[in-house]
Amino acid sequence: KNEVEQSPQNLTAQEGEFITINCSYSVGISALHWLQQHPGGGIVSLFMLSSGKKKHGRLIATINIQEKHSSLHITASHPRDSAVYICAVYTGANSKLTFGKGITLSVRP
């Protein structure tokens, strides 16, 4: 079993829909990253969370440390949100990132 699991594996949405992507982890963590990767490879860090909730524009990330679960929400989705979304965790006192397999999101116009 992977230490970081993401669901669903693939997701298709219509423009304007509210989207939720989930991440569960099975180890103790010090922080969790949500990353976005567009075709071509470049990765952008959207959020780093260790507790609570963060918001940036149309994106909201939440984390529940007790339940070992995090969600990334996209409000008013747009085709430019189409990308792979990857959850990654810093495990314990370690500063190495462990990654989920990522979710491919397609937003149709």
Partner 1 sequence: KAGVTQTPRYLIKTRGQQVTLSCSPISGHRSVSWYQQTPGQGLQFLFEYFSETQRNKGNFPGRFSGRQFSNSRSEMNVSTLELGDSALYLCASSLARGGDAFFGQGTRLTVV
* 97 counts as binding partner 1 under rule CB under 8 A: yes
Contact 103, 84 (CB under 8 A): yes
> First vs last Cα of the chain: how many Å apart?
36
Binding string, residues 44-83; x marks residues near partner 1 by CB under 8 A: xx--x-----------------------------------
Q: Which of 19, 33, 34, 103 binds partner 1 (CB under 8 A)?
A: 33
Q: Which of 66, 67, 95, 109 binds partner 1 (CB under 8 A)?
A: 95
Strand 19-25 relative to strand 29-37: parallel, antiparallel, unpaired?
Answer: unpaired
